[in-house]
Structure 1
Amino acid sequence: MELKKKYIHMSHEKGRAMSQVTLDDDYNVPESKPDIVRIITTKGAIHLEEAKAETGHVLLRGNLGFQVLYRSDGEENDIAYLEGEIPFSETVNLDGAEEFDPVKATWDIEDLNIGIINSRKLSIRSLIVFHVQMDEVRDEEISYAMENEEDYEIRKENIEALQLVTAKKDTCRFKNEIILPSNKPNIRELLWKNVQLRGLESRIGEDVIQFNGELLIYILYQGNEEDERLQWLETTVPLQGEVDCSGCRDQLVSYVGVDDVSFDVEVKPDYDGEERMLVVDAVADLDIKLWEEEQFEMLQDVYSLKEDVRPVFEDITFEKLLMKNNAKCRASEQLQLEATQENMLQICCAEGSVQIDTHEISGNGVYVEGTVAVELLYITTDDEMPIGSLKGFLPFHQTIEVPGIEKNSRYEIESGLEQLTTILIDNTQVEIKAVINLNLIAFSIGNRKRVQEVNCQEADYESLQKIPGLVGYIVKDGDDIWNIAKENHTTVREIMETNELSSDRVGKGDKLLIVKNMGA
């Protein structure tokens, strides 16, 4: 029997894995840099160059980039800066992985320890946790009708599901030029730079995804020879960008995640030829998924009063949007200087990054725990060590409400820092306040039986003769009128007419009179 079919484009999680990697290497200070006397602060970032699926595993290649701000051996205890990188290649075992499967890899730098071996050599040690997820995109075949339906008893079900429209990786570049304020001296040497992406929002348009947010930019630098003091600048600039995305429209369900942000800050001459212009170039790696909510009929069961009809069933899983929830969480903490640290005179820069430690479905939502790793650069009261660093953590927890969520529901969370403020209490204490964005999209999982094919043959009249011609039936728990009619060789319509029912709904304990139909 020929069935009429259509295809639903879907994405299913194929597998996920986690791997811890320890990087341990020595780094020689370039000849162009002065000797290291004392490290002030360090920072690291992962630059993933390749995430490639192979049979049974995923290959990750890239480097750990690091920055070091330190006091040099200059006569006036000069502040200097260097940056470098350590390459890595890691294999993450993942059952079911096949070549060309799409891979999503994220990471957390759980520990970065940079120490001094001697004035010309550093020890770099880091613990990195990689999370790898692999999705399978395929077309699911759905039977929605069959030939000569009037000759058969047909049961159909209305299904609401998400059909995948787009799943791709892309990048969005943001470029800004900043001119130093008139009260700041020219830049002689850039000592430290930091760019943070804050409050990034996406909006779906016709064949395009638009982005809005802001860049928080901080630099520490040596001024011109007329002003030997350390100089710094902290400023924000609005950003706008867009990514072409064929098939986009505002009615679609969207998930746009930021996997990574890389940046570069260059000093260039302004229009008068003075070193007063900063060119900030930031690139965001995006994970884009778009779905369309679609309703369709699916053939659920079939039988005949004239033939022996045997449908072949297969399991199928549908996803339906439960909720998109853009939650905000607040955290605050007081940080205290250690006895060996120089006292604070003024805070120059506050940098923060969000890390989710655990998340799970709990009650009517998703419970999330994590930390905001915070680092402050500040001007000290010690002229021999003019700049200091203070690091700390702000714990947070939040339950993101998702009505209707169940244990088998699927969800994705993206976190980001919206706001970070500092209040200097005294020269040894500072209060930190943070606002964290927790953007969640949740899907319900529906499991169904689909009719894959229908085999027909002549009716077995000997078996039919064994079915009673008249039955008094008491409805059991879990019964429905369709299955009762199929088992007793009649139709739903005839049971309703015989029992004068106005609806095909029956409940436990209902009494029915059933007359067998031989299909003559």
Structure 2
Amino acid sequence: RNCEITKPFTSTFSVKSGAVNPVIRVTAKTEYVNCRAVSPRRLDVHGAFTVKLKMTAEGGEEVVSTINGDTMYTRKNVVTYSVPVMSAEKNFTVSEVLELGENQPAAEVLIRSECVPVLSDCKIMTNKAIIKGELHISNLYTSDVTTGEARKTRHEIPFSQIIDIEGIDEEWQCDIRPDVISRDIHISSNQNGEGRLLEVNIKMTTAVDCYKTGMCEIVSDAYSSSCPVMLERKRIDTSHLMAIHRDASTIRETFDLPSDGVTNIIDVWCDVSPISERCEGGISHIAGRLMIYMLAKDGEGIISFYERPADFNLEYDDNCTSVSSDMAITSVDYNMVGAEQLEIRAQMDVVRRCFSDDSMVAVSSVMVDENAAFPNEKAALKIYYANSGESIWEVAKACHTSMDAVMEENALSGDVLTKDTMLLVPLC
């Protein structure tokens, strides 16, 4: 038999105030559940779950982008950044009547159901996004309640929706997350009175978060050829959403069956979650944990429930500096390896948000002391003995002259010396 009870809950989070265009994402994850029957009509359930809130918002820093003046020289960096600009959400229902396969017996009681949405396509148009995907549905049912014989069936239901997003731009990156709110699946009889139909009603929500990428120049250093300049600097951190990738991956695991003996495996299913994410050399490394669940019968016909974790690692050539991932199991296949081992193959949908993160020092304030002018140079050139690895910018800054003039005078192609060099430095 199957029993389902819904309990509402409330969680409160403390967040920073003043967030600009925040994108808020809330997820709940079951940590563990223990259940035991205390009477023929009473179950004692204990468990724990984690509620996680992630808020992404636009940040800002005041820095200098340009400095005017004929004797001022600036070194600039180009900054690429992404900021959330808008979000949209749409709830809808997917309804379908599914038939059991010809080789499957009629159903009497549903034991367990799973429903996983997978996005397959998204098109951005004027003021709207068109999404397409599939619902991967699996059902475990008993065909005979007296014998307890169980069967499993799988179906895929396509879905498509138009989500209105006023002002959306085709150049924006869109992070689209379909999710199941609730499901109602029950057995229905066909024209012959057999329970060979499944009436499916799935309530879904799809959230769309839009990110805009921009570029700007910031001054990282500056000096004057005529007088001292005092600079205030600050470190700024930027993040650029490069791409959102979605791939199918397969995890294979082989493990020993319980020592008390298993004569018949009723069902195997899995949950998955990322544990850690990192990027090295442009390669995304995602460590995850697969929770494997199994219903099985022993030689005496007693049904038992087993669970075990299995850790795994995935690698993707994403060419990014940081990554955020989501995972979902779409299907699980299994087969016996000999009499004492089970091999499973879990198919996953893996979504990766790939970022290019940068940290740099920017000039936030400039003060020019025009009353302390440098003395006039009597010579037109200065000889400077530079070391390998020395920056032409620092040479020009120390000599109160133009970096371009130094490079032109010495026919240099790069702004960092590759060997010890005697430089001729034109003086302004």
TM-score range, shorter chain: 0.7 to 0.9
1:504 and 1:468 map into 2 onto residues whose CA distance is 29
Change (3 A) 1:368 1:454: closer
Q: Aligned Cα RMSD in Å? A: 4.2
Q: How far does residue 283 in structure 1 lie from its aligned partner after superposition?
A: 1.8
AA of the residue aligned to 1:444: S
AA of the residue aligned to 1:123: D
1:208 to 129, 152, 175: 129
1:365 and 1:286 map into 2 onto residues whose CA distance is 28
1:404 and 1:186 map into 2 onto residues whose CA distance is 51
Change (3 A) 1:446 1:180: closer
Alignment of 1:303-318 (within 5 A): 303-306=223-226, 309-318=229-238
Alignment of 1:343-354 (within 5 A): 343-344=263-264, 347=266, 349-354=267-272
- Total equivalences in the alignment: 417
2:293 to 352, 357, 375: 375
Question: Is 2:348 the partner of 1:440?
Answer: no
Q: How far does residue 506 in structure 1 lie from its aligned partner after superposition?
A: 4.2
Alignment of 1:90-489 (within 5 A): 90=11, 97-98=16-17, 103-140=24-61, 143-146=64-67, 149=68, 151-157=70-76, 159-166=78-85, 168=87, 170-171=89-90, 173-181=92-100, 190-197=109-116, 199-206=118-125, 207-220=128-141, 234-242=153-161, 243-248=163-168, 251-257=171-177, 261-267=180-186, 276=197, 278-284=199-205, 286=207, 288-292=209-213, 294-306=214-226, 309-320=229-240, 326=247, 328-334=249-255, 336=257, 339=260, 343-344=263-264, 347=266, 349-361=267-279, 365-377=283-295, 388=303, 390-393=305-308, 395-402=310-317, 409-423=321-335, 430-461=342-373, 464-465=374-375, 471-476=382-387, 479-489=390-400
Structure 1, residues 233-270: CA drift from partner, whole Å, max 9, x if none?
A: 61312322333334555544444345x53331144878
Change (3 A) 1:172 1:161: farther
Q: Say whether the 8 Å CA contact 2:2–2:112 is kept in structure 1.
A: no
Q: Say whether the 8 Å CA contact 2:73–2:402 is kept in structure 1.
A: no
Q: Which runs of 5+ in 1 are unaligned?
A: 1-79
Secondary structure at the aligned position of 1:84 is classed as: coil
Higher strand share: 1
2:248 and 2:27 map into 1 onto residues whose CA distance is 22
1:362 and 1:299 map into 2 onto residues whose CA distance is 29
Change (3 A) 1:250 1:163: same
AA of the residue aligned to 2:386: V
Q: Say whether the 8 Å CA contact 2:274–2:289 is kept in structure 1.
A: yes
Change (3 A) 1:488 1:290: same
Change (3 A) 1:340 1:223: closer
Change (3 A) 1:322 1:249: closer
AA of the residue aligned to 2:345: K
Q: Say whether the 8 Å CA contact 2:139–2:153 is kept in structure 1.
A: yes
Structure 1, residues 259-306: CA drift from partner, whole Å, max 9, x if none?
A: x533311448789797845032142454635343x4443344444445
Question: Is 2:403 the partner of 1:492?
Answer: yes
Question: Is 2:422 the partner of 1:511?
Answer: yes
Change (3 A) 1:187 1:199: same
Q: Which runs of 5+ in 2 are unaligned?
A: none
Q: How far does residue 105 in structure 1 lie from its aligned partner after superposition?
A: 3.6
Change (3 A) 1:270 1:359: same
Aligned-pair identity (%): 15
Which residue number in structure 1 is paired with residue 411 of structure 2? 501
Change (3 A) 1:443 1:334: same
Q: How far does residue 473 in structure 1 lie from its aligned partner after superposition?
A: 1.8
Change (3 A) 1:366 1:231: closer
Q: Say whether the 8 Å CA contact 1:144–1:297 is kept in structure 2.
A: yes
2:337 and 2:312 map into 1 onto residues whose CA distance is 25
2:73 and 2:123 map into 1 onto residues whose CA distance is 40
Change (3 A) 1:287 1:395: farther
